[in-house]
A and B are shown apart, each in its own frame.
Chain A
Amino acid sequence: MATAVQQAPRTHEEAAAALAAASAEGLSVRIVGGATKLGWGHVTDPAAIELHTSGLDRILEHNAGDLTAELEAGVRLAEAQRAFAEHGQMLALDPPLGGDPGATIGGIVATGDCGPLAHRYGGPRDLVVGARLALSDGTIAHSGGKVIKNVAGYDLAKLFVGSFGTLGLILSVNVRLHAMPAATTTALGSSGDCQALAAAALGLSSAPLELAALDVAWRGGQGGLLARCDGPQARRRGERAARLMADLGLERTEVTADDQGLWERQRAGQRSSSQALVRISTRPSTLASLLRAADACAGTVVGRAALGSIYVELDPDAVGRLREELPPGTVSTVLDAPPATRAELDPWGPAQRPAIELMRRVKMRFDATGTCNPGLFVDRI
């Protein structure tokens, strides 16, 4: 197999010129950040050029007083978090990092990946306030700005969040930061009844506790909820959450401030190195039926109990069955899976028309030559 040309531009101009040159020569480009999620999306032909963001790895700004930062795409999230932590701040984005040095901000934004904190803070679409982009015709353009409140111009950053690099290269993003919480506490409760667990999740999410995260973990007919409180009074709120869990019928409720490991496990459940990993998005109130579907396929579940966004790890051969078991209207996306499985089924599930036609028109306008990550995305965009 031919090897791709490796490029690692060091400036925004170099990056844009690399895309433009590839486009002019009719060469395809695969954009690579931390290389932790390269297996996601359709199986595609190898690209002629691999464009690495490793040379775009500067934290351009950290405006601690304004709780904002500008990060180049190749900055590792872990490194950025260390820099923010020195000022008692964080980017409220906690997807699994895929090892050390791990995922880059560009890759996380391009895949729209997130973790348990999405319950409170949303995902990259909610935290990115501006972006600088390189398009395949060599254009460098930006949208949004440095301030968290801004409605001037179209929000192209949102268009690029979760676009899997198919519209162009994200050069840098402006993000909104949050103060690191003074303390965190997690309440836990378990159940062997998926209906009871789902009802408890609903009860907790509608309680005025302002949870930072509300996750579910489930496997083989047994599971639990994790509710994280953050803030100066985290302990008291955690105790309230645990009492509420008990009132809602959960068993073995407890409260712990030593909760890093618990949440690390939840994050780890969003990846699978040996099996298949499917992300499911649906209405939060269908949680019980999702857990039943996972049981039917011997799947292991982690996810956002109140957002209707869960991750199932299962045997690759069971993915089709899982999709059949899911309630109608459920979106399921295969993330990790052996290439054979990904080649066999559509990782994105059926494309929704007529929105897909509009998406194709967007792709045409931003990447008319089909240079950037061709074939990877929904409907093989």
Chain B
Amino acid sequence: MPPGRSEELISRLEEICGREHVLTNQHELATYRSDGLLHLRETPLVAVLPGSAEEVQGVVRACYEAEVPWVARGSGTGLSGGALPVAEGVLIVLARLRRIVSVDLDDGRVLVEPGVTNLAVSRAVAPTHFYPPDPSSQIVCSIGGNVAENSGGAHCFKYGFTTNYVTGLEVVLSDGSLVELDRDAPGYDLLGAFVGSEGTLGVATKVWLRVVPAPESVRTLVAFFEDTGAAGDAVSGIVDAGIMPGAIEMMDRLSIEAAEQATGAGYRRDAGAALVVELDGPREECLYGLERLIDLCGQAGALDIRIAQTEAERELIWRTRKAAFAAMGRIAPAYYVQDGVIPRTRLSEVLRQIDALAAEHQLRVANVFHAGDGNLHPLICYDSAEEGEAERAEELSALILRACVDAGGSITGEHGVGVDKKAYMPSMFSEPDLDAFQRLRCAFDPPGLANPGKVMPTPRLCGEVPGPYRQHPLERAGVAERF
């Protein structure tokens, strides 16, 4: 962009948001160069922190008039580069929009601004209610980001994803117009299309969420198995028995080792797999379910089953599970976190493939797995100081995704496509599929200013709508063909 025009835009943004909320020097912008996917970095022309929906609208309209692309960013915890800035573009940071506007427990509704953190929603409605989607980053990640990514978490097998809990949105479209999308209003479910669109259809400025009654009882156990195959059998047994745990998480030998080093929870290091199962719900169902769980784990050959007797013991089980990612640092200098999905019944087969691929690439892979819904998180360990290892890790990472897709799964269960996985989109979607996606994008954002370069494997422009809209053009030609 010519310097004159960018200065003009910046001064307009300063008028809208106040000079102190418009960042242009390289030092300040450094914070915003990447999201949770740290190896991708880009410096935006300017980062702006609007303080209200009206200011967001003003910023987006200014971008529209200047024909400058923009990226909305929440807390920056995303793992697919979805909030990676566009060079020469505007980064709209929503961190100042963090009001919980209203809490209405009679209707089970909460109205929040997009910068509110995920955990703050559950805290606002505790102890009687909670907000189920619980990504690992829930302490810091923002609801706006959750909406963009359709975030899941450990409890989504039973409770569903962000898309099942958003009942309304106020959205600023790329032309600066404000539109309210309501799940109950007649018409197309534009809300359903918007959630999970990774910031490419607009930016949400208000979010209505549904919260649900907190479970009366929670029982958590961890069971250890010889190998992931036996643990997988236990999961099948549980699901086939019609038991719907709040969460079922599997860790393999390497992730147990890493997590154990981090928390010293006393996990069995001789075990090839650990299964964390949490039942929640009515008291009598949990009691009954717990007995069935113990039976089913036993039948699948559990080496040891530990049931949390206190809240502290439960927390330790979860802390150990959640430590698995960070703890890999103790085992390897660097690692990729992959996010793929497989039909759960293909687990053993895909894990064997991953083992074989890892051996072939002379790398170690730890597997952490949301076992109920088949969401795999292989952690690919490597040492970039070793010649060629980073490249081998990247290649292995791609082959693992390929194995997931070949098994009938997906390239991402919760981290999103962003920049990181857009090259893999053609492995799941044909050209006509991608064209159909683009139609939606063009309806919302014809100039393509909202988070360009994300999700789609290759840049696409919106053409004119082919032909004028004709409502009932049947009579002349049609009548002759009728019988």
Residues on A facing B (Cβ under 8 Å): 2-5, 25-28, 45, 47-48, 63, 65-68, 88, 112, 122, 125-126, 133, 135, 137, 139-143, 145-156, 158-159, 161-163, 167, 178-182, 202, 205-210, 231-233, 236-237, 240, 281-285, 306, 308-309, 331, 333, 348-349, 351-352, 354-356, 358-359, 361-366, 368-370, 374-375, 377-379, 381
Q: Is there contact, CB below 8 Å, between B428 and A48?
A: no
Q: A27-B474, A285-B106 are in contact. Are A5 and B481 (CB under 8 A)?
A: yes
Q: Is there contact, CB below 8 Å, between B477 and A4?
A: no
Per a CB cutoff under 8 Å, which of B196, B244, B425, B482 touches A4?
B482
Q: Is there contact, CB below 8 Å, between B192 and A151?
A: no
Q: Is there contact, CB below 8 Å, between A374 and B443?
A: no
Q: Is there contact, CB below 8 Å, between A158 and B180?
A: no
Q: Is there contact, CB below 8 Å, between B189 and A152?
A: no
B468 smallest CB distance to A (angstroms): 8
Residues of A near B239 (CB, < 8 A) are: 65, 67, 179
Residues of A near B289 (CB, < 8 A) are: 232
Residues of A near B410 (CB, < 8 A) are: 145, 147, 149-152
Question: Does B338 sit at the interface, judged by CB under 8 A?
Answer: no
Q: Is there contact, CB below 8 Å, between B160 and A126?
A: yes
B425 smallest CB distance to A (angstroms): 7
Q: Is there contact, CB below 8 Å, between B440 and A362?
A: yes
Per a CB cutoff under 8 Å, which of B156, B193, B242, B483 touches A149?
B156
B1 smallest CB distance to A (angstroms): 28
Q: Is there contact, CB below 8 Å, between B341 and A208?
A: no
> Once the chains are docked, how many angstroms separate the CA of A241 from the CA of B416?
41
A62 smallest CB distance to B (angstroms): 12
Q: B178-191 vs A: 1/0 string, CB under 8 Å?
A: 11111011111110
How many residue pairs at the A-B interface have CB separations less than 8 Å?
A: 300
Q: Is there contact, CB below 8 Å, between B179 and A161?
A: no
> Once the chains are docked, how many angstroms separate the CA of A45 from the CA of B472?
8
Which residue on chain A has the smallest CB distance to residue B201? A154
Residues of A near B417 (CB, < 8 A) are: 151-153
Residues of A near B479 (CB, < 8 A) are: 2
> Once the chains are docked, how many angstroms separate the CA of A283 from the CA of B168?
12
> Once the chains are docked, how many angstroms separate the CA of A319 from the CA of B457?
50
> Once the chains are docked, how many angstroms separate the CA of A377 from the CA of B421?
37
> Once the chains are docked, how many angstroms separate the CA of A349 from the CA of B196?
29
Per a CB cutoff under 8 Å, which of A5, A88, A158, A355 touches B192?
A158
Q: Is there contact, CB below 8 Å, between A365 and B106?
A: no
Q: Is there contact, CB below 8 Å, between B414 and A151?
A: yes
Residues of A near B474 (CB, < 8 A) are: 26-28, 47-48
Q: A65-B344, A139-B432, A208-B215 are in contact. Are A153 and B455 (CB under 8 A)?
A: yes
Per a CB cutoff under 8 Å, which of A150, A306, A365 touches B341?
A150
How many B residues, CB 8 Å from partner? 106
Residues of A near B284 (CB, < 8 A) are: 233, 236-237
Per a CB cutoff under 8 Å, which of A152, A162, A206, A358 touches B411?
A152
Which residue on chain B has the smallest CB distance to residue A346? B186
> Once the chains are docked, how many angstroms separate the CA of A167 from the CA of B242?
37
A-B contact pairs, 30 of them (CB 8 A): A5-B482, A26-B477, A27-B481, A45-B472, A48-B474, A63-B343, A65-B236, A147-B409, A149-B414, A151-B196, A151-B417, A152-B417, A152-B421, A152-B425, A153-B417, A154-B437, A155-B150, A156-B436, A162-B188, A163-B189, A179-B241, A208-B216, A308-B184, A352-B182, A355-B181, A361-B443, A361-B444, A365-B440, A370-B471, A375-B472
The listed residue with most B CB atoms (<10 A of its CB), out of A142, A155, A379, is A155
Residues of B near A145 (CB, < 8 A) are: 341, 408-410, 428
Residues of A near B467 (CB, < 8 A) are: 368-369
Q: Is there contact, CB below 8 Å, between B343 and A146?
A: yes
Complex interface: stretch among B136-144, B294-302, B312-320, B367-375? B367-375
> Once the chains are docked, how many angstroms separate the CA of A5 from the CA of B481?
8
Residues of B near A139 (CB, < 8 A) are: 432, 435-436
Residues of A near B482 (CB, < 8 A) are: 2-5, 48
Q: B268-306 vs A: 1/0 string, CB under 8 Å?
A: 000000000000011011001100100000000000000
Q: Is there contact, CB below 8 Å, between B472 and A140?
A: no
Q: Is there contact, CB below 8 Å, between A149 and B370?
A: yes
Q: Is there contact, CB below 8 Å, between A149 and B481?
A: no
Q: Is there contact, CB below 8 Å, between A159 and B188?
A: yes
> Once the chains are docked, how many angstroms separate the CA of A182 from the CA of B469?
53
Per a CB cutoff under 8 Å, which of B285, B342, B409, B442 touches A233?
B285
Question: Does B385 sit at the interface, judged by CB under 8 A?
Answer: no
Which residue on chain B has the smallest CB distance to residue A331? B184
A348 smallest CB distance to B (angstroms): 5
Question: Does B458 sit at the interface, judged by CB under 8 A?
Answer: no
Residues of A near B160 (CB, < 8 A) are: 122, 126
Q: Is there contact, CB below 8 Å, between B196 and A209?
A: no
Residues of A near B161 (CB, < 8 A) are: 149
Q: A122-B164, A150-B413 are in contact. Are A358 and B341 (CB under 8 A)?
A: no
> Once the chains are docked, how many angstroms separate the CA of A302 from the CA of B214?
27
B32 smallest CB distance to A (angstroms): 24
The listed residue with most A CB atoms (<10 A of its CB), out of B150, B189, B236, B444, is B189
Q: B424-483: which residues lie under 8 A (CB-CB) from chain A?
A: 425, 428-430, 432-437, 439-444, 455, 465-467, 469-474, 476-479, 481-483
Q: B222-244: which residues lie under 8 A (CB-CB) from chain A?
A: 236, 239-242, 244
B360 smallest CB distance to A (angstroms): 26
Q: Is there contact, CB below 8 Å, between B412 and A349?
A: no
Q: Is there contact, CB below 8 Å, between B163 and A158?
A: yes
Q: Is there contact, CB below 8 Å, between B242 and A284?
A: no
